[in-house]
Structure 1
Amino acid sequence: MNSSASVPPGWPPQVRPPGAPQWEESARNWLYDQVPGEWRRYEVLQRHPLLLARNVRYHVEGAINGHRLGYSRARVETADHIEPPTLQQLLEADAREGARLVALARQVRLVEDALQGVRWVPRL
């Protein structure tokens, strides 16, 4: 595949298409940008971008689950401590962040699939 290869909807723009020169390096760098910097210490993740993608996927899925839990409990846990307009602002921010995390999870999964050799073929 060449650098003009098609990528699926939702593919992260910072990652080169599979088969393009240095595409795995761009994938690795982007994946590292999604997690704490300490992850760069682990040589096994540097040598095996597929393992990095797998762990990033679990990290993002955990963030989504934690975020959903926080959102669902926000009214009950904060009702006595913050004013309703502030709670509404929190819920709106949480909704935006939740949507960002879900989109990120899709991007990570697409990159992980590509690292496993799955290639997207556009349909007419």
Structure 2
Amino acid sequence: MPPPGAPGWQVPAVGWLLDHCPSDYRMYAVWRRHPIALAWVTAHHLDAQLGAMRTAYRGLRVDLGEHVEPEGIAAALAALEAEGARLLAARRAAGLLLEAMQGHAFVPRL
């Protein structure tokens, strides 16, 4: 993705943001016309997904312990942990895109 401020940088940013929302969001022209609104709603959507992952992780053993063998529980917990890490990285990126669209400048650190 081009850095914020580069010509056309919001076009790939909108595509990336839409990739992290439900596919039905692509039907609404408002998100392409107002990328800052898309970045804002994407951040909220990712927050909700993170909450769901955390709830699932906490409740998996209790809710499914009698129905899934220990190896399956361990594998499911590992998958939830990996998905949580992916969502956390996506949420951080969406937040940075939102900040960039709000005009915040980022200074590289050495």
Report how far residue 48 of structure 1 moved.
Answer: 0.3
Q: Does 1:111 align with 2:93?
A: no
Report how far residue 21 of structure 1 moved.
Answer: 1.8
C-alpha separation in 2, matches of 1:76 and 1:70: 10
Q: Does 1:17 align with 2:11?
A: no
C-alpha separation in 2, matches of 1:45 and 1:29: 10
Counterpart of 1:33 in structure 2: which amino acid?
D
C-alpha separation in 2, matches of 1:112 and 1:105: 10
> Structure 2: any 5+ residue segments left out of the alignment?
none
Counterpart of 2:86 in structure 1: which amino acid?
R
Of the three residues 36, 39, 43, the one matched with 1:53 is 39
Report how far residue 123 of structure 1 moved.
Answer: 3.4
C-alpha separation in 2, matches of 1:44 and 1:96: 32
C-alpha separation in 1, matches of 2:109 and 2:93: 20
| TM-score, with length taken from structure 1 | 0.85
Of the three residues 84, 88, 92, the one matched with 1:98 is 84
Report how far residue 95 of structure 1 moved.
Answer: 0.6
| TM-score, with length taken from structure 2 | 0.95
Q: Does 1:89 align with 2:46?
A: no
Task: Considering fraction of residues, name the structure with more helix.
Answer: 2
Q: CA RMSD in A?
A: 1.0
Counterpart of 1:56 in structure 2: which amino acid?
T
Counterpart of 1:16 in structure 2: which amino acid?
P
